[in-house]
Structures are given as C-alpha cells and as structure tokens.
C-alpha cells in the first residue's frame, strides 16, 4: 500500500493482536493493551511500521507528537451518550483512542461517583461509570462480556480500567480501587454531551509534556517489546485538520 498521507492517530491494540507485531511502532499502555499509530484517513486500517518511519524520515517522538496533536484536534467530535449508572462514548469508531486524551478524563472525573472507571472491550466500545456505583460496574462488566461473546473484530480487554493519578490501571473484578472520592454533584448528564478540548483557563491543570530521552532520527532498531506510552498535554488552539 502506498502511503499518501502524513496524518497520524494513536490507536489502542491488544498485545495479542498478531496483525500488529514488533515490526510496528508500539508503546506499552496498560496490561494487555498497547498504543500503535495509524495512517489516515481512514484511521485504524494501516498501522505505522519501523520501515515507514525510515521512509518518512521522522523519529518516534515526532510520531507521538503528531498523533496526539491530531487526536486533540478532533476531540470535539467525542460525545457521551446515555444515562447513569453507565454511559457510552462515541468517537467515530475509534472510541478507545480517547483514553489517551488526559484532559478529557480529568474534566469528566468529578462528574462520576467515586473514581472514573471504563470498560474498553474493543477499539470502538468504551463504557463509562464510577467506582462507587455498583449498578454501573455491574452493567459495564456485562457489556464487556457481551462484546467478547459477539466476537468484535478488534477486541482489547475484559478488564475494567480505573483513572488514577493521570493514568489508566486495571481494576480487578470484585474489588473497589483504593482511595475513592466521595460522590460529587453533576452525575446527571441529559442526552449527548459534547466535551470541549479547549485549554482550561486554570493553567495549573496543564503540565508540560513528559519527555523521554531519545536519539534524533534515525530511530533505534525495533525494541524487543512495547515501550511505555508517554502522554503530552496540548497547548495549541489550532482548528481541527
């Protein structure tokens, strides 16, 4: 396939996905899930390999930056649907990619009872609830199992994930995560709710990117396994591309 686009998007993939192997650029995300990078549009069909980086003459850090920038540019398309105790996220078939947008979840976290919890059984399915909502947790787990029983094309994880200290962690079945916040007002969205990606006026919420020392182009040989995912906050207010 000839690459005609330099637009990239981060895409969550299962570490068991044989179609995305060590020949592709991958970063570790959480247990059983990695971050790959897709050309597009359309996104999600063609993952970026190490040979693609050679041909495009960019390094891994640049790829991450361009991909997360494009995610934030289009984050205004993300919407939340349904009613408590469990809600659904929509993002044009790549819902799980939104898990990489930290500010989206920081904005949403105070609106759920307890800590923010999601089920991400497939690339295009994200169920949202709170750690202090037993009905919501039960509904999320049932939805995850239904997706796996139906045999989705891009399965991800049977585990629920909890948002804690700016990262997603597995939440074991039958156990509440440590240190839940008490329920807070505002957990009553009515219908679809669009979450803005505009920078928060409170600059304290926007920390500088966590940088990892990496050599400039050319990139190093493909690693033996995925590397940890690194997020970066968004400062640009440029319109979506």
Q: Tens place of pLDDT for every residue, the chain, 241 residues? A: 334 447 999 999 999 998 999 999 999 999 899 999 999 888 988 999 999 999 999 999 999 999 999 999 999 999 999 999 999 999 989 999 999 999 999 999 999 999 999 999 999 999 999 999 999 999 999 999 999 999 888 999 999 999 999 999 998 764 444 444 433 333 333 333 333 333 333 322 223 334 333 333 344 455 555 666 666 545 444 433 3
Q: Name the E strands within 84-198.
A: 87-90, 116-122, 125-130, 160-164, 167-171, 193-194
| DSSP class of 134 | H
Instruction: Give me the pLDDT at residue 183, please.
Output: 39
Whether residue 68 contacts residue 75, with contact meaning beta carbons closer than 8 Å, is answered with no
Instruction: Give me the pLDDT at residue 122, please.
Output: 95
| DSSP class of 177 | P
Instruction: Give me the pLDDT at residue 194, please.
Output: 38
Task: State how far the Cα of 148 lies from the Cα of 152, in Å rounded to an integer.
Answer: 6
Task: State how far the Cα of 111 lies from the Cα of 133, in Å rounded to an integer.
Answer: 12
The overall longest dimension of the chain from CA atoms, in Å, is: 52
Q: In what order do the strands lie in the sheet with 193-194?
A: 167-171, 160-164, 116-122, 125-130, 87-90, 79-81, 193-194
Instruction: Give me the pLDDT at residue 231, please.
Output: 60
| Residue with tokens 């505002």, as numbered in its chain | 186
Q: What are phi and psi of 109, to 5 degrees?
A: -55, -45
Whether residue 128 contacts residue 102, with contact meaning beta carbons closer than 8 Å, is answered with no
Token pair recorded at residue 126 = 């994200």
| DSSP class of 119 | E
């Amino acid at each position: 396939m000839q690459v005609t686009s330099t637009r990239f998007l981060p895409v969550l993939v299962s570490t068991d996905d044989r179609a995305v192997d060590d020949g592709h650029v991958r970063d570790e995300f959480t247990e059983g899930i990695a971050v790959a990078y897709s050309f597009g549009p359309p996104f999600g069909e063609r993952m970026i390999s190490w040979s693609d980086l050679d041909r495009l003459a960019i390094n891994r850090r640049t790829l991450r930056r361009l991909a997360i920038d494009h995610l934030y540019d289009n984050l205004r398309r993300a919407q939340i649907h349904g009613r408590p105790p469990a809600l659904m996220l929509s993002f044009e078939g790549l819902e799980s990619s939104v898990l990489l947008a930290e500010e989206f979840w920081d904005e949403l976290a105070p609106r759920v009872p307890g800590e923010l919890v999601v089920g991400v059984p497939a690339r295009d399915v994200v169920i949202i609830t709170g750690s202090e909502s037993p009905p919501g947790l039960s509904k999320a787990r049932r939805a995850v199992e239904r997706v796996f029983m139906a045999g989705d094309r891009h399965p991800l994880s049977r585990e629920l994930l909890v948002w804690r200290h700016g990262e997603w962690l597995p939440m074991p079945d039958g156990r509440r995560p440590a240190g839940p916040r008490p329920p807070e007002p505002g957990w009553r969205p009515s219908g679809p709710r669009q979450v803005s990606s505009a920078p928060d006026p409170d600059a304290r919420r926007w920390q500088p990117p966590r940088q990892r020392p990496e050599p400039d182009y050319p990139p190093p040989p493909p690693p033996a396994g995925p590397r940890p995912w690194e997020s970066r906050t968004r400062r640009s207010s440029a319109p979506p591309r």
